[in-house]
Amino acid sequence: MTMSENAVLPVLDTDEHYYEPLDAFTRHCPKEWRARTVQTATINGRTRQIIAGKIDNTVTNPTFDPIVKPGVMSEYFRGNPNGKHLQEILAEREPLPESYRNRDARLKKMDEQQIQAVWMLPSVGMGYEESLQDDPEAAGQAFKAFNRWLLDDWGFNYQDRIFGSPYLAMGDVDTAAGEVEFGLENGARIFVVRPQAVCSVDGWHSPGDPIFDPIWSRIHEAGAVVVPHVAEVGGSGIDKYVEQRGNIIGDVAPPMQIAVGHERAIANYLAALTCDKLFERFPTLKIASIENGAEFLPLLLSGLNRAGFQRPGYFSEDPVEQFKQHVWVAPFWEDDLVEVVGHLGPDHVLFGSDFPHPEGLAEPRQYEKLTEELNDPVAARKIMWDNAAALTKLS
């Protein structure tokens, strides 16, 4: 493993991203499924993607060229001290770097940044299930094609440094279970999902519903990790209060969506897994919440505690302790890391930079400034390397 000699600690960044090419969903999609899944078209001179027959608005430019520079929103999330409008910030663009599309170029970038290993996650891919959710068969086929593109271009384990994550659209249980097998056969150690209830052919279900146990069972047996990552999730529980305009932030989002929308989806998802006794059925299952921040933790832990004492006998053990045994959390860099460690302990906190997204860190190892606030080198190493390395089965 190549790394710079002056790197004090090894690091595993659990939240890094590629920018998908236009054919990520179409390269391996059978012709008979294209109209129900993803297509690409030129409309009024602009390249657009069509999902389930409708123009997609997840991103304004699905070519990603030019691309917003990494980290340009870092001050924006720490109080926006200069009072800049989001569109002004996002105007800082550059030609698409090769390292956002090519794994060997990415390895060179990782060496420059003194990053030993990464979990490589979707960008636009986290947005497309929302438009496909009412057609679970099509969603399953779309992400089946996506996972084969991912294997082509990035792999699920490239040189024990880049760990690509197959995406599971769980509404079609048989297809999703097949994707777990496909991933495991090709070296996958993590699987990504969106933090949302699941629509199947007979309606909406909690992700912890036993109907999905064929998926969870194989992941559990293999010791793999499920990564609920921030995604398009419709109303996030607030759609009856404000007009829903997508999973967006800043100038064009309703203030109420900014105030309460971001944490709602992941809190609901993790609460559902716990309260549906998923962790009792699969006692070593591992869940890593990535790019959802940690502001949801105090209220969720309080709620799980309340569920435990108000429903005596429902849980086989304290639901708060179940959560802490099975869930790892990657706080945002603007979160209070000391407080997060106080809630979960240092063994269940992960480092994630969100590189190269504009809302992440321009240089991932800037996160070490936060771990210094712990005044605990052992805890810092756990967060930056040990915890994620153990989840990824690295020595």
Torsion, Cα of 49, 51, 53, 54 (10° steps) = -70
Distance CA 281, CA 105 (A): 42
In this prediction, residue 209 carries a pLDDT of 96
- By the 8 A CB rule, do 291 and 229 touch? yes
105-115: pLDDT as tens digits? 999 999 999 99
Distance CA 201, CA 80 (A): 44
Cα first-last separation, the chain: 12
> Which amino acid is present at 306?
R
Whether the pLDDT of residue 191 is over 80: the answer is yes
CATH number of 12-391: 3.20.20.140
Nearest to 352 by CA among 110, 119, 102: 119
Distance CA 214, CA 232 (A): 25
| Residue position matching structure tokens 């003194």 | 114
Whether the pLDDT of residue 213 is over 50: the answer is yes
- By the 8 A CB rule, do 74 and 81 touch? no
Distance CA 388, CA 344 (A): 15
The chain-wide mean pLDDT, for the chain, equals 92
Kindly give the interhelix angle for 262-275 and 319-326, rounded to the nearest 10 degrees: 110
Whether the pLDDT of residue 235 is over 90: the answer is no
Is the model more confident about 252 or about 181? 181
Distance CA 349, CA 324 (A): 10
**Percent of the chain scored above 90 by pLDDT?**
82
Task: Identify the three-state secondary structure at position 260.
Answer: helix
Whether the pLDDT of residue 234 is over 80: the answer is no
> Which residues have a Cβ under 8 Å from the Cβ of 103 and sit 6 or more positions away?
153, 154, 155, 158, 162
